[in-house]
C-alpha cells in the first residue's frame, strides 16, 4: 500500500486554513500543526500496534515501497516472534524487502527494498526474522 493509499484508507486529511483557525485554544495560543508523518505514524500504529519512524516513512515514499493489510500483519507477527525471544534491534525480511525494527519500541526504523541486489550488510542488530 502506498503512502497516498494509506492516507485515503486511514482517512488522513491535511489541515485546511479554516481548520487551524478553529483550533485556537482558550488560552489564546494556536494549536501546533502536526506533521503529516506523525499523523501517518499514529494511524498506522493504531491500526497495527506497529509504529513507523519518520525516517522509515520517508524511505518508503522515496523507494515506492507499499504495504497492504497482509504485509502489516506479517510485520506484526514477526515483531511478536522477535519480542517473545527477547530481541532488541532486528531485521524483518519479507519477500524482497527488509525492515529494521526496534522491538522494544515496536517501531520500524527504516525500510529497504530489493535486498538481494543492494543491501547485504546490516549492523547493530541482534536478530533476524523471515516472514
pLDDT (tens digit, 9 = 90+) per residue, 21-77? 444 444 445 556 667 666 666 665 565 578 899 999 999 988 888 888 899 999 999
Inside any domain, residue 29: no
CA distance 6 to 42: 12
The mean pLDDT of the chain is: 77
Angle at the Cα of 121 (from 89 to 108), degrees rounded to 5?
35
66 within a domain of the structure (yes/no): yes
Reported pTM = 0.63
pLDDT number for residue 24: 43
Q: Identify the weakest region by mean pLDDT among 59-63, 77-81, 82-86, 88-92.
A: 59-63
In a domain, 106, yes or no: yes
Dihedral angle, C-alpha 104, 107, 110, 116, nearest 10 °: 70
The boundaries of the domain holding residue 17 are 3-24+34-130
Q: Is residue 81 part of a domain?
A: yes
Question: How many domains, the chain?
Answer: 1
- 6: pLDDT confidence band, cut at 50, 70 and 90? low
The pLDDT assigned to 50 comes to 86
Amino acid at each position: 500500500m502506498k503512502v497516498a493509499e494509506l492516507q485515503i484508507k486511514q482517512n488522513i486529511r491535511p489541515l485546511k486554513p479554516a481548520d487551524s483557525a478553529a483550533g485556537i485554544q482558550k488560552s489564546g495560543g494556536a494549536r501546533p500543526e502536526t506533521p503529516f508523518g506523525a499523523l501517518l505514524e499514529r494511524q498506522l500504529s493504531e491500526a497495527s500496534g506497529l509504529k513507523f519512524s519518520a525516517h522509515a516513512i520517508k524511505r518508503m515514499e522515496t523507494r515506492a515501497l507499499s504495504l497492504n493489510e497482509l504485509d502489516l500483519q506479517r510485520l506484526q507477527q514477526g515483531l511478536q516472534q522477535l519480542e517473545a525471544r527477547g530481541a532488541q534491534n532486528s531485521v524483518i525480511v519479507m519477500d524482497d524487502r527488509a525492515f529494521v525494527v526496534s522491538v522494544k519500541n515496536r517501531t520500524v526504523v527504516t525500510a529497504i527494498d530489493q535486498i538481494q541486489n543492494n543491501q547485504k550488510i546490516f549492523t547493530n542488530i541482534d536478530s533476524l526474522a523471515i516472514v
